[in-house]
Structure 1
């Protein structure tokens, strides 16, 4: 590529970058002294849509899981839309595993649907393999080999909003398992990205 043709683009990019770093807006209540201790995060978020459903509970307590394979907006929505329902009946715990297609570093954004009247408790397990999402790392006896939460939280319980969006996780993963923990209830998931 011709360097002379590339130089104007590089100069514009560098000018925009310096402008961005110097003009990050802080709340008006921050004094100049407080602002001098602020750090600008140069990273930005990119939301990826799951590529496929790897597994779902055998008793089919998961209805319309394919709804989670559609590109989302992160916005809870009033009205009728396709949602995935995870349903627990009796003592059966239902769940599913999503495949994001490639190993990535990040977390999840989960948006629940209007059909939830109350919060629901779920268990989230991130894994670099499907078998890791089936492994136990909570309450594992000492000396037993298993995935751990020592360097990053990859197995934890979480309360989802009844109708809203929550961001969770900061780990390396390709697969995510989601299990509904409450008994005799359902959770309606609009999207996961």
Structure 2
């Protein structure tokens, strides 16, 4: 599946050219899960207040995946309202992605994503419709941990290295 933008907008005020979506997309593809990246998932509480949490995320087949324990605020928020944002600092570009995240429980997809997580050093195994492993962040709660897939609606990149620029991509 190809997730290419349907429109772009140059946000740069210093005359730099529009950035191609391939720049952050390719970094996501090559740097996850091997690099030490922290992604921050922003969700909306039932009362409208924001919630943010650091997660380990991976980019597989043109989509971003992340996990959350069933009882975590992140998972409870997503069950009620799938709207969310995910932010990360990549090599030379800060990226914020917006969209909706939905739980993935298809066994074949879970196995495929678990294999990618294992290749990066997290020993995820599929269990009870989610993941289990010998270790996880203390804030994750008990296993199984749900897998979520972000469906992109918008992304914004701000380059901190050449070529500089700032661009919004709408999907």
Please tell me the TM-score bracket, short chain as reference. Answer: under 0.3
Task: Normalising by structure 1, report the TM-score.
Answer: 0.24
Name which one, 1 or 2, has greater alpha-carbon Rg: 1
- Between Structure 1 and Structure 2, the one with more strand by share is 2
Using structure 2 for the length normalisation, give the TM-score: 0.26
